[in-house]
Amino acid sequence: MSGMRPLGIALRRWRMRRILKRHPIPHHIWQKVTRRVLLLRRLDALQMAHLREMTTWFLDRKSITGAQGLEVTPSMKVAVAAQACLLILNLGVEYFDGWIEVILYPGAFRVNHAQMDAIGLVHDEASALTGESWLRGPLILSWDDVDRDIFHLQPGHNVVLHEFAHKLDGLNGVANGMPPLRRGMSRKRWTEALSGAYDELCQQVAAGKSAFINPYAATSPAEFFAVLSEYFFTAPDILKNCCPTVHKQLTLFYE
């Protein structure tokens, strides 16, 4: 992802300037939304200006539509896009390549998944989700949960960050906790840091002990990376205290 040629970089910058000129976010909408999103309060003026550019690009290139009769307003679109672009603020828009659609449900939505039981029989099981990210397909969110996260900054929890982190993770073709790393980062150090912390978490959860982060992260390496990303942006001190080597790797990646 980091090996773009100068011509490619120049072309992206030209396209970005064109988008900013032709499809700007109205000032009153940007101010109204970003003042409400608690997650963005750590950003300085320069970072906010860059985030606005990235959000403008996102809204031009990605579709955000409602399901089950939900009317999606411009403010709702900006709220989703701005939080999503926080992840790629220092990575670049190419990290959101390969898909085009975000679908908002009014609340938690039900999905059916095939599950195999102990004797090999497959059953359809329904579950209610607040978000789901398909590898090359759409990303789905519950607006109720997105709206809650806007006003209540919960340590280690943000549905937008979680699901869009899955998009970063899947950019290599498989969601396994290994997104395309930035230039100069060591794949070996990343793997050692995250694998070690993941194994420790799985042992704690299996033993019924109190986990150092949300135990849902022990579901898989992909969920571990998504939950880590939530902590990195919503509760960095917690992540740094419990997993300093992981926090260091995520700092190199996201900042």
pLDDT digits (tens, 9 = 90+) for 124-182: 555 667 778 888 889 999 999 999 999 999 999 999 999 999 999 999 999 999 999 99
Spell out the domains of the chain, with CATH numbers in brackets.
Answer: 9-254 (3.40.390.10)
Q: What is the pLDDT of residue 123?
A: 44
As a whole number, mean pLDDT of residues 196-225 equals 95
- What is the rounded CA–CA span in Å between residue 242 and residue 114? 35
As a whole number, mean pLDDT of residues 218-233 equals 97
Residue 253's nearest CA partner among 185, 191, 188 is 185
pLDDT digits (tens, 9 = 90+) for 170-187: 999 999 999 999 999 999
Q: What is the pLDDT of residue 212?
A: 87
Q: What is the pLDDT of residue 77?
A: 98
- Is residue 57 within 8 A of residue 93, CB to CB? The reply is yes
Burial class for 69, CB neighbours closer than 10 Å (0-12, 13-18, 19+): exposed
Q: What is the pLDDT of residue 118?
A: 54
Q: What is the pLDDT of residue 117?
A: 47
**Could you tell me the CA-to-CA distances from 205 to 209, 220, 245 in Å, in that order?**
6, 13, 20
As a whole number, mean pLDDT of residues 38-52 equals 95
- What is the rounded CA–CA span in Å between residue 237 and residue 50? 24
